[in-house]
Structure 1
């Protein structure tokens, strides 16, 4: 059957509970010959097989989707939030039902109609679903390669990354403390009035934020804002949508993008307004770091008129003891990262 062949190699993560007393355990869900195969992700050993025609969804319209192998056996359940797998189960079940309900002379015509309908749906739905799947499963190293490709395209417009070693050493030291252990920050000369998150926990900071500030607090605020305004998966998905389906499939199968996949995307990002997180979320993050919000707010709007909630909600004004981000020599070295 067309539907079965289309989804036979599809796999997704899920959580399986064999009995009401058992704990949910992680499994790999695969579409087999009219069955769902649940396997141990560590050993690839099949744990159970469910008949697809008998599978029942217990919570239609809600996520994660919860399935049971039969209507009269709801004690055993499978949970998954993978949209590609959920769509596949529904489409394969529909195809099986149509196949059984229309025997004889009408079978061929009905199968042709069903096949054409699925092809039409696939043409609209499948490409973006595959791109989303590529962004979801990309390991950190692949996501970082995507981010570096975007950064390379940015440099065509903004100039080369600032690489003065003393300044970069300060960035490398402060970044894990400010963001995440695997995060990396690169500085572009001017061209970016703040910071932007790229795939692979890679961040780009505009050099103007450093030269126009009396201390590192505005730059720290911009980096935290970039971190909060977009997840790494969202940044990767946006980049892969620019690259297209072919490049995304190549990333999934060969582990690398075509050389020109990000051509024009970095330049387009530089032209877009920087995304901003909710004020409450940013103030909470700055409070955890013992950092003020007013320097960041003033770097966006020196008058303060459009950023008044950030100024009035400054954690330091609320009595939080301000942390010393950098020593004077460290700050001077960071300010001069684009010099020479």
Structure 2
């Protein structure tokens, strides 16, 4: 049997040279289980080459010249018409090569695996890890600074905050009546841009003027203020900023203490177009009870039919009783004129 199962026996005629000083002689070449045997015409074996050690000196050329690994002076030439033997030897060499260990290939795959792991860490772990670290170490004064910077960019699009003196005093009274759980909130009424209401790092709450001018009572604006207070408690406002800003901006904040202008502009644009902050109804109702504010006016402001906000209407903690007034009638009228027209 031969090393190739498709052949019971395979022989060819070739020219063999024992060393560089020897004459070439015609020989019979045969393939066994593990060796290539070179014999004379009397069937006397002249040499045995291990199949695993076969090398070719001139790939793709003819006559094909083979030699045993480690000794290029001993050669075997097979003419082009011995194509079957040449093909058999090449098939054996390819099969043996595939079976050999390839340290370089292993190193390549290991290197690619390491690179893939590093990329995965950068893509999936590093952004959240950097963001979480920033949320732990960024001080309140820096959050306030970031909030002020974002407000400045928002007002470029939404217009300058409404600051009529008497209306501003009334707005401060409303803020004192609805204090932030994390300290004094800064209420800002904008002439446009922001959809209903939004919040920024540092305790800034933005209100669209329509929440004040289009309703007959302050309970609607108060409801939106409460919703933003609760949204800021459920999710750190700075986290939303950093998620939008991305990894590079987060690392820049950690290393330099500054958020890039590009990141701030991007977040300002995002804030003006995003949907209302989501707060579960149970959390909202608990907030209305804690701040002593009716939930029903806020519910109808969100949905005039009351269908979407029916749970807030039915479970209003002040459905049958009146809480402490948010503002006097005069202060409410002043607040409605905070934008001057």
Q: Unaligned stretches of 5+ in structure 2?
A: 1-106
CA RMSD between the two structures: 2.8
Query: What is the CA-CA distance between 1:135 and the residue it aligns to?
Result: 2.6
Moved over 6 A (4+): 108-114
Larger radius of gyration: 2
Match in the other structure for 2:250: 248
2:202 to 183, 200, 203: 200
Query: What is the CA-CA distance between 1:206 and the residue it aligns to?
Result: 0.9
Alpha-carbon contact 1:154-1:266 (below 8 Å) kept: yes
Match in the other structure for 1:295: 297
Match in the other structure for 2:329: 328
Match in the other structure for 1:131: 131
Match in the other structure for 1:225: 227
Q: TM-score, normalised by structure 1?
A: 0.62
Match in the other structure for 2:153: 153
Query: What is the CA-CA distance between 1:265 and the residue it aligns to?
Result: 2.0
Query: What is the CA-CA distance between 1:118 and the residue it aligns to?
Result: 5.0
Q: 1:176 to 1:137 in 2, by over 3 A?
A: farther
Task: Name the stretch that deviates more: 196-205 or 232-241.
Answer: 232-241
Alpha-carbon contact 2:212-2:336 (below 8 Å) kept: yes
Match in the other structure for 1:339: 340
Cα distance in 1, alignment partners of residues 259 and 207 from structure 2 = 24
Cα distance in 1, alignment partners of residues 246 and 120 from structure 2 = 18
Alpha-carbon contact 2:173-2:327 (below 8 Å) kept: no
Q: What secondary structure sits across from 2:199 in the alignment?
A: strand
Answer yes or no: is 1:171 the counterpart of 2:171.
yes
Query: What is the CA-CA distance between 1:239 and the residue it aligns to?
Result: 0.8
For residues 247-296 of structure 1, the C-alpha deviation after alignment (integer angstroms, 9 at most, x for no partner) is 22232233222233211322222212102311121112111222211111
1:178-189 counterparts in 2 under 5 A? 178-180=178-180, 181-189=183-191
Q: 1:278 to 1:163 in 2, by over 3 A?
A: same
Aligned length: 235
Match in the other structure for 1:312: 314
Q: TM-score, normalised by structure 2?
A: 0.61
For residues 39-80 of structure 1, the C-alpha deviation after alignment (integer angstroms, 9 at most, x for no partner) is xxxxxxxxxxxxxxxxxxxxxxxxxxxxxxxxxxxxxxxxxx
